[in-house]
Every structure is written in C-alpha cells, then in structure tokens.
Amino acid sequence: MASSANATIHVKEFLFGARYRVYQGFFLLFLLSALSYFYSSNKVDAASALAVRLPFLLFPLVFSNFKVSEKQLHHLLKLFVYLCAAVSMACLFYRVYTFLYINHDANYFYNEGLISITKKRVVFFGSYVSFSIFICGYFILSNAVKKTEKWVLGAVAVFLFLILFLLAVRMVLLITLAVGMATLFVKLMQQRKYVMAGAGVFLILAGFVGLLQLFPQTKSRFESIGNVEYSFSNQNKLDHFNAANQAQNWNGLTLRLAKWRCALDVIEQNPLLGVGVGDVKDEIVQAYQARGFIYAVQNRFDPHNQFLEITMAIGFIGLMVFLWLLVKSLQLFWQTQNWMAMVFMVLLLFSSMTESLLRTQEGVAFYIFFWCLFVAYSLSTPMPPVKEKIV
C-alpha cells in the first residue's frame, strides 16, 4: 500500500510539479503527437511516427525516478566517447582496407562512404563525433580526470576532429569549430591573457583553412553553397563532393531553401494544429508538386528543419511547446551551471535549423536520451549559492 501511494504521489509530481517542468514539456509534445494521430489521414505513417517518438514519453518517466551523480554522468560520457572513437577507428580501418585491396577510390573516405558499415546517416554520426569532441574538451578543462587521461582524451579529440572533417557535415563542423573557439577565447580572457585569446582564435581559424586544403572533398562541400539562387523547375541533381561544383545544380543550401518554402506553404494551410504526424511527408510532397519541384517530388524529401517539421506536424501549438521546452531546459542548465549540457543544447539547436533531427529513431534516441540525462543530473545537483552583491 505504501509503495502504491508513493507511486501515485510521484505520478502527480511528474505531471504537475514545478520541479519536473522539462519532463512535462516532453510529455506534452508526445501527447500532441498522439492526438494528431486522429486527424492524420495516413494512419500507418502516424503509428510509425508515434513509435519513433516513444522516447519523448519513456526517457522522462525513467530518468524522473533516478538521481544521477557526477560520477555516473562522467562514466557515461567517457563511455560514449570511447565507443564513438572505437567505431570511427573501425570505419577508418575498413576504408583503408577497401582502398588498398578492393576499389582504390579515395572518395569513399568521405561523408557517408566513410561510415557505410554502420548503416547510420552521416548527419547523426557527425553529431555523435562532435558531441564526443565536446566531452573531451570538458574533461580536459576540468579537474574530473587525471593528467594521463587528459592526454588520452586530447589525442581522441584530435582523431575525432579529423574524422569530422572526413564526414564533411557542414553545420556540425561549423558548430564544433565555433564552440571550440568561443571556449578557448572565454577561458583565456578570464585569465586576462588577451593577446593569447586573440592569437588562439586566429590559429584555430588558420588551422581550419589549412585542413580544408588537405581535404579537398570537404572544401568542395563548403564551396558548393556559394550559390543561393534556385528555381523549383530545376531538375538537375545535387552537387556531389567528389565532382566539380556547377551553378546549375542544386547544392545543400539551395535545396534546403526550396524545401523550407514548401514547408511554409503547408504550415500556412494548417497553422494551429498542423497536418498530423502521419501526413507530414505526404503534405510536403503535395507542396512540392504544387510548385513544380519535380526533383523533390521524386526523392520525397523531408523539410530538413526540426522547427518546421514540428510546426507542420502539430502546428504552432506544438512549436510553442517545443520552444518552451528548450527555454526551460536552458534555464535549468544555466541555474545548475551544467556547462556540458549547455554545449549539447547548442549542438541540438543549430543542427535543428538544417536537419529534421527528431524524425528518425537514431536522432530521437541520441538527442532525447542525453537531453533527459542532463536534466536528471541537473535536478540531482544542488543549486549553486547566489553571490550577494556588495554595495
């Protein structure tokens, strides 16, 4: 009886308590998605979309029952780093083997070719690698590990940054570079090493430009987005990193701009509640057809923007809940000085601008797991004392 009463109290606290506001945001998003099943025409896709979104419900329920200590968090983060490095090493060795003994084609070292044995989409694997680099930096700058392990993590970070260059995921690479520069600059400025702060940022930028010369396919990925003009009637294919960039082809930027315009068309027709989680793909394909965007119709592209994806599926109500969830999470992490979580949120926020991260299981499992893990850790951490101002 006592355990049943405690369970009831916990459920009430989870659903209505101020302590669990972030978890309630996840629950609301899942609830809105579940309700949208009933006005989705494509029930099969709606059921599949709800299955993908189950972590929005399950992870908060699980993590709300546990306290996460700093030691446990650090163990999980280091485990993730070493697993990511091991998988990356296996992918690299496999590509070296195929280059030497099978196809002799260096292009397979880049982008999806590098990680073909994992069956993962390159944007998600790039997120794993970037997050692992951030974790390495976190431990190197803290006193949480011994000096020897800092050297090991430093070597791992360098290796993973080279892997990130080979993956050539533009947004993730730029986020990693920007966070690295900002962290170094702030740390040195706090130590009043102003010249070193400026020199450090310059050297990082110079190193980035230098690496682009060493990795021509990655350089080609950045050069391809120089053109921002597009026509929906263009039926040419997407520029590929191992071929010469051509202005008449689609590039990563123009293709996204066109898809975003079509996504807005869908939203304008269904602003409040959206079209339902089951009809997002069908509705955006119809928008492609309406604008004569044949290349997108043939490939049935998703909108490549998480904010637009949510608004299409569950309307502006869903978007407001998602934004509220982001704000409450950032507020919690700031109050508890959970800097690793803040960096994770930067990766999530900026990647969401160019990718539909939470549409697939591999994106939801990764982002929602670590999001809830950081929330659980922050809720298990006493709030730092507020420093009184001396008048």
Q: What is the DSSP string of 298-319?
A: HHT---S-HHHHHHHHHHHHHH
pLDDT for 200: 81
pLDDT at 385: 59
368 occurs within a structural domain? yes
- Decide if 295 is inside a domain: yes
How many whole angstroms separate alpha carbon 157 and alpha carbon 151? 10
Quick one: DSSP state of residue 242?
Answer: T
pLDDT digits (tens, 9 = 90+) for 326-361: 999 999 999 999 999 999 999 999 999 999 999 999
Q: Please report whether residue 391 resides in a domain.
A: no
Whether 91 is in a domain gets the answer: yes
Confidence of residue 149 (pLDDT cuts 50, 70, 90): very high
Query: Is residue 318 domain-resident?
Result: yes
Q: How many domains does the chain have?
A: 1
Q: Does the residue 199 lie in any domain?
A: yes
pLDDT value, residue 275: 97
* Residues whose CB falls within 8 Å of the CB of residue 195, separated by 6 or more in sequence, listed in order: none
What is residue 255's DSSP assignment?
H
Summarize pLDDT for 126-142 with one digit per residue, the tens: 999 999 999 999 998 88
- Please state, for a pLDDT cut of 90, what percent of the chain lies above it: 63
Looking at the whole model, is its pTM more than 0.85?
yes
Angle at 166 between CA 164 and CA 170, to 5 degrees: 60
Residue 6 lies in a domain: no
Q: Is residue 390 a part of any domain in this protein?
A: no
Parent domain of 116: 19-379
Does the structure show a pLDDT above 70 at 102? yes
Please name which of 339, 306, 386, 286 lies closest in space to residue 139, comparing C-alpha atoms: 339
pLDDT at 234 over 60: yes
Buried/exposed 287-311: b ≥16 CB within 10 Å, e otherwise: bbeeeebebbbeeebbbbbbbbbbb
